[in-house]
């Protein structure tokens, strides 16, 4: 595990964007595992700047996102499809048909889980998986549980996750209660993992994730077993370590 210390959010975003930047330069047809949430906004802004400066080319890149809310269609402005389109995809030269997210609006979410795992296998797996960290230790929407789930699956969101994500909605009641998420299997099979964490409110959970017991009660703790984990975190998030 490599831990890269950043001064603040902006510095974390820049350092993490540089890692994705070098991945795309070194392997222009990479499969990027992407994430949403506030942690990633600065990083995507930096990637867009690199693209505008002519230093990045996404024409051969394929992307697979971690998760999507059940019940929200791609055009819903609270969906992760919408987030990705507006924060990254529409600003760079990635082909729409090369961007994949689990489809939360489908009639049969269980079939969608199977389709998504097959799709990732067909793409040859994920070259680099970008991850944020939930306050309860979730990665993707793999919430604390009695076991790790390998496959893409349907998940009930924890109260703490619903509360944390309510800031993106008009009120807490509007936050969907379920999501589809990539499982721990595909995340752990990614050739590289890049975990980005910022803020004092994540300091305690980050310490548990990196140095506590490996347990499905703290889903991110499984990353301790990943052979190529890079953590980019700001001083606040690292303050307990
Ligand atoms: C998002 C995702 C989540 C977030 C996590 C942190 O696609 O999978 O695991 O990374 O909830 O969210 P923020 O960055 O909003 O604190």
Establish whether 172 is a catalytic residue: no
Q: Which residue in the list 81, 112, 117, 138 is annotated as catalytic?
A: 138
241 residues of the chain, pLDDT tens digit each: 999 999 999 999 999 999 999 999 999 999 999 999 999 999 999 999 999 999 999 999 999 999 999 999 899 999 999 999 999 999 999 999 999 999 999 999 999 999 999 999 999 999 999 999 999 999 999 999 999 999 999 999 989 899 988 988 888 999 999 999 999 999 999 999 999 999 999 999 999 999 999 999 999 999 999 999 999 999 999 999 9
Measured from the Cα of 161, ligand 1's closest atom is 11
How many Å is the Cα radius of gyration of the chain? 17
Atom of ligand 1 minimally distant from the CA of 138: 9
What tokens appear for 94 in the block? 């990635």
pLDDT at 93: 98
Residue 168: its pLDDT value, please?
86
For 218, the token pair is: 């703290």
146: annotated active-site residue: no
Residues recorded for the chain: 241
Report whether 155 contacts 181 (CB < 8 A). yes
- Whether 136 is catalytic is yes
For residue 167, what pLDDT is reported? 87
Which domains are delineated in the chain? 2-234 (3.40.50.1360)
User: Which of the following is catalytic: 67, 117, 127, 236?
Assistant: 67
pLDDT at 99: 98
Distance CA 23, CA 6 (A): 20
């Amino acid at each position: 595990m490599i831990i890269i210390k950043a001064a603040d959010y902006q510095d974390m975003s820049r350092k993490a964007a540089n890692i994705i930047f070098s991945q795309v330069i070194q392997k222009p047809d990479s499969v990027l595992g992407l994430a949403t949430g506030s942690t990633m906004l600065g990083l995507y802004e930096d990637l867009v700047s690199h693209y505008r400066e002519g230093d990045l080319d996404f024409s051969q890149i394929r992307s697979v996102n971690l998760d999507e809310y059940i019940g929200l269609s791609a055009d819903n402005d609270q969906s992760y499809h919408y987030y990705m389109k507006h924060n990254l995809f529409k600003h760079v030269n990635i082909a729409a048909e090369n961007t994949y997210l689990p489809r939360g609006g489908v009639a049969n979410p269980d079939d969608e889980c199977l389709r998504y795992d097959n799709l990732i296998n067909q793409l040859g797996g994920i070259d680099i998986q970008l991850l944020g960290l939930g306050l309860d230790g979730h990665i993707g929407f793999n919430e604390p549980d009695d076991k790790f789930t390998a496959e893409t699956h349907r998940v009930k969101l924890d109260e703490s996750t619903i509360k944390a994500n309510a800031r993106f909605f008009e009120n807490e009641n509007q936050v969907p209660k379920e999501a589809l998420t990539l499982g721990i299997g595909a995340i752990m099979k990614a050739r590289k993992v890049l975990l980005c964490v910022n803020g004092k409110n994540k300091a305690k959970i980050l310490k548990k994730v990196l140095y506590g017991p490996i347990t499905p009660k703290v889903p991110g703790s499984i990353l301790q077993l990943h052979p190529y984990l890079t953590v980019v975190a700001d001083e606040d998030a690292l303050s307990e370590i």
